[in-house]
């Protein structure tokens, strides 16, 4: 998952998403494209993130793929 945004920016986008921000608001705040926002959220969920169980965001959910 080639990343051009650092892990902190991706964490900000994920946090905004789980607290109800629109993709447009997230894009305005972070500069991440809407398609990339969707990808960040999808990848975090594949790696075990489940905001219905815990909203704690671990590095493993967002770190760059090897």
Determine contact, residues 14/57, Cβ cutoff 8 Å: yes
What's the pLDDT band for 1 if we cut at 50, 70, 90? Answer: very low
In the chain, the percentage of residues whose pLDDT exceeds 90 is 89
pTM: 0.90
Summarize the confidence of residues 42-66 as an average pLDDT: 95
Cβ neighbors of 28 (< 8 A, separation 6 or more) are none
């Amino acid at each position: 998952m080639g990343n051009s945004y650092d892990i902190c920016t991706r964490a900000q986008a994920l946090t905004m998403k789980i607290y109800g921000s629109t993709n447009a608001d997230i894009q305005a705040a972070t500069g991440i494209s809407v398609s990339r926002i969707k990808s960040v959220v999808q990848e975090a969920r594949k790696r075990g993130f489940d905001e219905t169980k815990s909203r704690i965001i671990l590095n493993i959910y967002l770190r760059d793929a090897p």
